Structure 1
């Protein structure tokens, strides 16, 4: 029988939990290491819908990117995902910043996706180093061609899906910085490293003006858009190490809808 602890150790081998940021809450957040984990669901967020699907399919462990417990819980209503996990006896392992920084994690996966379509040279540097061994958040790389903001936005939409918000900086874009999730705070780091553009998600209003001042183009591909790949990354590692278990990769749906205008037909 494969246990939750064995799956935890498999994840820890490629995305060490000890590498998480001080503000993070990655690890085994629900259940016990001794519980069976012969049917697993990997996902981006442990939502009510994901738990309902997991329970319907007899899943014993959910492995997610975003922590199901992030801030201290002061109440636990029955509809809360943590309550539902306990009610269905489903364990939960969450791999947040360790997966962001892992050599085979989210940002590295995005580089693989973008390398060919953006004509990147493949010589990457870490955008924000956090560890002495060089690990950190995001990357920078240089394209072999110059991009207009419009052309780059179209390519990004084809990769990440959904809407892409961008600033129409009219100078050519060659050196590109990237960080999944919500990393507009790294704008100044990107500018200091000579980048022409920063690709991320969840960009706040003031950051667009900061980008204009820094002469860096910003591209907002959404938090969900840049991180939905976590489900398949986690599933692939677990399947490779544990061919005896059943792993379902389910990123879940983007919780935000987009109104594109016009009337329904």
Structure 2
């Protein structure tokens, strides 16, 4: 029977927790003891809906991408997700930037969703770069991304054809300039700010903002499959979480 520490060690083998960025908080964030794990939910975020699913389904572990304890959280209450998990005997492993930086992590899965080939990591591993089978106009490429990710997206005006593509799941629009320097014609990421679109236009690189959830959720599915294949004695399931963002 597999224990909490074994699951942590396995994730650490392909997404070392030591590689997480300084501001991150990945690891075992809720530890209910190194007990045997029988059921585990894998999710992007630990929302109220995910908590209800875990409690109702009698899960004893949640593996999340975004940390359950993060940022300005300095105290726990009975309504804090981490406290609710502990109260219900649910341990939490969060694998955030270490999974972003993993060679088989968020960016690799995103590159696969876009059917890129010759995919390599940037020098700092913050994004990956690959190539399309053939060049396409920026408008057609943006439509292609939308179809691949089932995403509503935003993009800037760019007249060049797109062949070499950089990808960075989640909040990666600030890497547009670095991606341009590595030869990318486009950067596909989750979030983009107004002035970053202006800068991208000036630098003649296509910036595609396809949604934080949409660019990271495929990697959650991939992580669940990795864990499922490794630990046959544990029932893994992707949580029934949807994007909180609605589009008109």
The interval holding the TM-score normalised by the smaller chain is over 0.9
User: How far did residue 251 of structure 1 move?
Assistant: 5.6
RMSD (CA atoms): 1.5
Deviation string, structure 1 residues 100-123 (Cα, Å, up to 9, x no partner): 1212211111222212xxxx4x22
Residue of structure 2 equivalent to 1:256: 245
TM-score (norm 1): 0.89
Find the counterpart in structure 2 of residue 223 from structure 1: 212
Question: How has the CA–CA distance of structure 1 residues 37 and 251 changed in structure 2, closer, same or farther, with 3 Å as cutoff?
Answer: same
The separation in 2 between residues aligned to 1:2 and 1:195, in whole angstroms, is: 43
* Separation (CA, whole Å) in 2 of partners of 1:197 and 1:224: 20
Q: What does residue 186 of structure 2 align with?
A: 197
| Match of residue 102 from structure 2 | 102
Mark the CA change 1:251 to 1:107 in structure 2 (over 3 Å): closer, same or farther: farther
- Structure 2: 5+ residue runs without aligned partners? none
State the SS of the aligned residue for 2:114. Answer: helix
1:239 paired residue among 225, 228, 234: 228
Runs (4+) off by over 6 Å: none
Match of 1:27 in 2: 27
Alpha-carbon contact 1:63-1:234 (below 8 Å) kept: no
Q: TM-score when scaled to structure 2?
A: 0.94
User: Unpaired segments of 5 or more residues in structure 1?
Assistant: 131-135, 260-265
Mapping for residues 123-138 of structure 1, pairs under 5 Å:
123-127=118-122, 129-130=123-124, 136-138=125-127
- Provide the aligned length of Structure 1 versus Structure 2: 248
Q: What is the 5 A alignment of 1:64-79? A: 64-79=64-79
Maintained 8 Å contact 2:32/2:89? no
Q: 1:43 to 1:251 in 2, by over 3 A?
A: farther
For residues 33-52 of structure 1, what are the structure 2 equivalents within 5 Å? Answer: 33-52=33-52
Q: Distance in 2 between matches of 1:169 and 1:99?
A: 31
CA shift for structure 1 position 77: 3.2
Is the partner of 1:140 in helix, strand or coil? strand
Please identify, of 60-69 and 76-85, the stretch whose mean Cα deviation from structure 2 is larger. Answer: 76-85
Q: Which moved more, 1:43-52 or 1:249-258?
A: 249-258
Contact 1:162 1:225 in 2 (8 A): yes
